[in-house]
Homo-oligomer: A and B are copies of this chain.
Amino acid sequence: MAGKRHPRPPASAPLRADVGTSNAQTRRHNLSSVITHLHHSGSLTRAELTRRTGLNRSTVGALVGELEQARLVHETAAPESAGVGRPSPLVHANRQVAALALNPDVDAVELGLVGLGGVLHAKVRHPTATAPTAAETVRLVSKLLDELEPSLRQCNVVGIGVAVPGLVQSDTGVVALAPHLDWHDEPLAPMLTEATGYPAFAGNDAKLGMIAETVFGAGSGVSDLVYLNGSASGIGAGVLAAGRPLWGARGYAAELGHTLINSDGRRCHCGRRGCLETEVNLHRLQAAMGRAPLSAEDMQRAMRAGAGSAIKVEVRRQLDLLGQAIAGFVAIFNPELVLLGGFLGTLLDAMPSRLEACVARLCFAPAAAGLQIRRVALGENLLLIGAAELAFQALLTDPIGSIDR
């Protein structure tokens, strides 16, 4: 009857009744917990693993032993001592356990080999004259796999993940639409599974970028974030809600690029008017600069140089609209963090305080209070790392059960 301290509700429990679990699933969950910690942090001492999992020393010992036997982790002697007491051996995720990561784009197909821990072992790239078809992409993968052969031989590949610049049905891996590649309803993942023999998974590139940033980048430790990436082809987005990527029913969620931002704006290629990606747009930024700067550095310089100029006017216009859009997303998702990549990151760095002020002005104050707006941390291999995460997911969820026998 007495409620002494105020109880906190469980953060975000599922509403639907779950199925039961047994002992075996406990083991699976704990193995998953250990390997996932190692995958995210690279290496940890067994003592640290014990603290993070909350399990008993002896249990962690047994779990690490089982993972070691499955060649998913290995131990090394504790490096330099970290105080009194018996030193705890370092446990490493086995980097040789790897995933292939594919990124078909308008002018090239890129294939990477990413090891546990998110390390890129190797990367090969095949430029194409025109955007590749799905079939061509699959053929190119076979060719690129040969080039990767030396690296591949040293690895145990668990699957292949694809970052697609388009809309992907997440459960089947079918690309519903990739406008810049001119793909329609391409069963990419099944085709790749067929061609390579590896389990294949496909996802939208921006959502995979968000995942990479969440696991290894600027979103590390954050459980609610909105990721926006600006490129020449538009604005891609990904959302993390309560620590989980927002996929929606079929995998088409978090498409924020076509959010209405200005009813009087230009017509968008999607048919509507005043979409975010039509108003906050790299081409229009470059047009204001009179030419197309090659690098992000060039653009950054051009923005600084042009105080009072047409450039500055355009930068301000886009920043204000971006701020307006972000304020809308804050009302929708209430994130702790908004991550900006691509030219949106450049825009942010040009006038960070203007963007922050704009967002703060339009947001509900308590939601804006706990909000950070930051630039992404990961570089050009973001998409490959994110794509690899897709392929790693089964292994991380069920380390022993998903092992290749």
Residues of chain B within 8 A (CB-CB) of A159 are 3, 7
Residues of chain B within 8 A (CB-CB) of A10 are 393-394, 397
Q: State which size class the interface on A falls in.
A: 35 or more
Which A343-387 residues sit within 8 Å CB-CB of chain B?
362, 364, 366-367, 370
Residues of chain B within 8 A (CB-CB) of A261 are 260
26 contacts between A and B (CB under 8 A): A6-B190, A8-B171, A9-B201, A10-B394, A11-B247, A15-B215, A15-B245, A16-B40, A17-B36, A17-B52, A19-B52, A21-B26, A167-B364, A169-B366, A223-B249, A242-B247, A249-B370, A250-B370, A252-B331, A252-B334, A252-B366, A255-B334, A258-B328, A260-B328, A263-B274, A272-B362
Q: CB of A177 within 8 A of chain B?
A: yes
| A8-B247 Cα distance, complex, nearest whole Å | 14
A255 pairs with B332, CB closer than 8 A: yes
Given contacts A6-B189, A16-B36, A242-B247, 6 further A-B contacts (CB under 8 A): A1-B198, A3-B159, A12-B244, A255-B331, A255-B334, A259-B332
Residues of chain B within 8 A (CB-CB) of A256 are 331-332
User: What residue in chain B is nearest A371 (Cβ atoms)?
Assistant: B249
Q: Which residue of B177, B221, B264 contacts A263 across the interface (Cβ within 8 Å)?
A: B264
A354 CB to nearest B CB, Å: 18
| A39-B13 Cα distance, complex, nearest whole Å | 15
Q: Which residue of B11, B18, B198 contacts A171 across the interface (Cβ within 8 Å)?
A: B11
A33 pairs with B20, CB closer than 8 A: yes
Total copies of the chain: 2
Q: CB of A59 within 8 A of chain B?
A: yes
On A, residues with C-beta under 8 Å from B are 1-3, 6-23, 25-26, 29-30, 32-33, 36-37, 39-40, 52-55, 59, 159, 167, 169-173, 176-177, 189-190, 193, 197-201, 211, 214-215, 221, 223-224, 240-256, 258-264, 272, 274, 324, 328, 331-336, 362, 364, 366-367, 370, 390, 393-394, 396-397, 404
Residues of chain B within 8 A (CB-CB) of A22 are 26, 55
